[in-house]
Amino acid sequence: LAEKLQNTLGKLKGKGKLNEKDVNDAMREVKLALLEADVNFKVVKQFVEKVKERAIGQEVMESLTPGQHVIKIVNEELTNLMGNVQSKINFSSRPPTVIMLVGLQGAGKTTTAGKLGGYLKKQGKKPLLVACDIYRPAAIKQLKVVGEQLGIPVFELGDQKSPVDIAREGLEKSKIDGNDVLIIDTAGRLHIDTELMDELVNIKQSIRPHEILLVIDSMTGQDAVNVAESFNSALGIDGVILTKLDGDTRGGAALSVKAVTQKPIKFAGIGEKLDELEPFYPDRIASRILGMGDILGLIEKAQANIDEKKAKELEQRIRKQQFTFEDFLEQLEQVKKLGPLNKILEMMPGMGQMKQLKDIDFDDKEIVKVQAIIQSMTRQERNDPDILNASRKKRIARGSGTSVQEVNRLLKQFEQTKKMMKKFAGMEKSFKKGRQCK
Ligand code: GDP
Ligand code: MG
């Protein structure tokens, strides 16, 4: 998906100003990318129209190629669509603040009740968890285990009382015990049904929650739209918590849910553990949906610092696989301006996951040492490291105030970097194609 998108966006590079056809071509691919990310088709259609409108009318920013400019707009609009960071819980001025979690079975309500409790406890709140799922066997037990792990009290009345009664009594209990936040864990169903909705509406009317948060499994993709729509129209929700964003989901559900309900996505569940809840960051999801890594950040950083011409030359050399220690040295100078190399590489799409990155440790002291070693090499050695035998290595180590081991380590790192750049060159080919057929 990312590849496809980069292919098309790549085609736009270096073509001068955007015309309608360019944008249309690019947006066709963006559309596919979004659908592939499981964004609802209606939402996709709206989105694409909006971006087209904006892109065609607009001047291309001077420092960006047209392709980069489209990426920028697409990314901005995606982020806009999902709203700003709004992970705040609206606390009542008269505690306890009542938070009711609703959603389908397996969405992650019980887990999230615990996570949210833990999150708020860290902020100095005194939460009470209330077990209102009396249908699923062991649901009460599950919440109690969660509460125990977090040191948060759980209120339950077994499975013989009605959820409305349990919620009401839980509210009373919290007032007695001085809990300032009440988190209600409710029952789910496999599918939306009116019986469930009626029960939730009853609880709502009886205890008047300050926040009704819909818990949605981000893996459900297209279905998320129906779920969000039903819960919102029957019950009225105040926000969404998206769970299981740690999986390989593309996050399309986030976009759909936000577009359909207009309600903020407040938190994201990012793992099974009880501390794996975080504020929802729209920009991260936007990049994730497009699968592009933080391309924009990278563009901005590089633009500000790298000498364009040198970069072009280097790029040529990488492409021809003539990358030498001379280039490496020059690269290090650039890198010092940019910041840690692994950070830069991480921002590039596809590079973040590359294992080799972890093996290469470039801190600043290291860079100085590396520079010394390379500077102790002759030009011939720099261009053809294969000739480095034991005596040459010893001479270089002496000259640079390092050891033969350190020289060897650098040689290994250099090989790894070269390999990595080769891979990167392959990945980038799609970008370059556009540039060559100018
Ligand atoms: P409920 O039926 O809505 O109460 O859902 P549960 O809280 O019982 O969660 C269902 C399953 O999803 C459990 O196995 C949880 O561990 C898992 N789960 C919940 N949230 C997350 C999350 O953010 N990431 C992952 N990987 N698993 C989660
Ligand atoms: Mg549950």
Question: Tell me: the pLDDT tens digits for 112-124?
Answer: 999 999 999 999 9
For atom 13 of ligand 1, which residue has the closest CA?
108
pLDDT grade for 342, boundaries at 50, 70 and 90: low
187 labelled binding-site residue: yes
Alpha carbon distance 162, 230 (integer Å) = 23
| pLDDT score of 168 more than 90 | yes
Ligand in nearest proximity to the CA of 114: 1
pLDDT value of position 12 = 46
The label of the residue with tokens 């469930």 reads 196
pLDDT grade for 17, boundaries at 50, 70 and 90: low
| pLDDT score of 389 more than 70 | yes
pLDDT value of position 159 = 92
Structure tokens at 296: 């924009």
Q: 57-69 burial string, b = 16+ CB within 10 Å, else e?
A: eeebeeebbbbbb
- Which domains are assigned to the chain? 2-81 (1.20.120.140), 97-290 (3.40.50.300), 295-436 (1.10.260.30)
Strand order in the sheet with 277-279: 154-155, 127-131, 181-185, 97-102, 211-217, 239-243, 265-269, 277-279
Closest atom of ligand 1 relative to the 142 alpha carbon? 8
**What phi, psi does 214 have (nearest 5°)?**
-85, 125
pLDDT value of position 355 = 45
pLDDT grade for 395, boundaries at 50, 70 and 90: very high
pLDDT value of position 328 = 75
Q: Which of 133-137, 252-256, 417-421 has the highest mean pLDDT?
A: 133-137
Residue 68 CA: distances (Å) to CA of 14, 55, 203, 274, 279: 10, 12, 50, 39, 28
**Helix 282-290 / helix 66-81 crossing angle, nearest 10 deg:** 130
Q: What mean pLDDT, rounded, does the chain reach?
A: 80
**Helix 20-36 / helix 282-290 crossing angle, nearest 10 deg:** 100
Question: 110 CA to middle of ligand 2, Å?
Answer: 4
What percentage of the chain has pLDDT greater than the value 90?
39
| pLDDT score of 370 more than 80 | yes
pLDDT grade for 340, boundaries at 50, 70 and 90: low
For atom 16 of ligand 1, which residue has the closest CA?
272
Alpha carbon distance 112, 101 (integer Å) = 8
User: Which tens digit of pLDDT belongs to each residue from 103-158?
Assistant: 999 999 999 999 999 999 999 999 999 999 999 889 999 999 999 999 999 999 99
For atom 2 of ligand 1, which residue has the closest CA?
106
For atom 9 of ligand 1, which residue has the closest CA?
108
Task: Give the ipTM.
Answer: 0.99
| pLDDT score of 327 more than 70 | yes
Alpha carbon distance 326, 212 (integer Å) = 61
pLDDT value of position 186 = 97
**Cis ω before 153 (30° cut-off from 0):** no
Ligand 2 is an ion; residues with CB less than 5 A from it: 109-110
113 labelled binding-site residue: no
* Residue 330: burial class (beta carbons within 10 Å; 0-12, 13-18, 19+): middle
pLDDT value of position 98 = 98
| pLDDT score of 423 more than 60 | yes
Average pLDDT over residues 7-11: 52
User: Which residue of 109, 146, 272 sits with most ligand 1 atoms within 8 Å of its CB, as the best mutation to test the pocket?
Assistant: 272
Higher pLDDT: 290 or 337? It is: 290
Question: 205 CA to middle of ligand 1, Å?
Answer: 27
Question: 111 CA to middle of ligand 1, Å?
Answer: 6
185 labelled binding-site residue: yes
pLDDT value of position 325 = 80
User: Which residue of 111, 217, 218, 275 sits with most ligand 1 atoms within 8 Å of its CB, as the best mutation to test the pocket?
Assistant: 111
pLDDT grade for 189, boundaries at 50, 70 and 90: confident
For atom 27 of ligand 1, which residue has the closest CA?
272
pLDDT value of position 321 = 64
109 labelled binding-site residue: yes
User: Which residue of 243, 265, 266 sits with most ligand 1 atoms within 8 Å of its CB, as the best mutation to test the pocket?
Assistant: 243
**Helix 390-400 / helix 364-375 crossing angle, nearest 10 deg:** 120
Site residues for ligand 1, CB cut-off 6 Å: 103, 105-111, 188, 215, 243-244, 246-247, 269-272, 276
Average pLDDT over residues 34-40: 82
Higher pLDDT: 192 or 339? It is: 192
pLDDT grade for 7, boundaries at 50, 70 and 90: low
Question: 2 CA to middle of ligand 2, Å?
Answer: 35
Question: 161 CA to middle of ligand 1, Å?
Answer: 25
For atom 19 of ligand 1, which residue has the closest CA?
108
245 labelled binding-site residue: yes
Residue 321 CA: distances (Å) to CA of 152, 317, 324, 354: 59, 6, 9, 20
pLDDT value of position 230 = 92
Question: 188 CA to middle of ligand 1, Å?
Answer: 12
| pLDDT score of 194 more than 50 | yes
End-to-end CA distance of the chain: 25
Ligand in nearest proximity to the CA of 278: 1
pLDDT value of position 359 = 46
106 labelled binding-site residue: yes
Q: For residues 166 and 203, is the Cβ–Cβ distance under 8 A?
A: no
186 labelled binding-site residue: yes
Alpha carbon distance 38, 77 (integer Å) = 17
User: Which tens digit of pLDDT belongs to each residue from 59-104?
Assistant: 766 556 666 677 778 888 888 888 766 668 999 999 999 999 999 9
Alpha carbon distance 56, 432 (integer Å) = 23
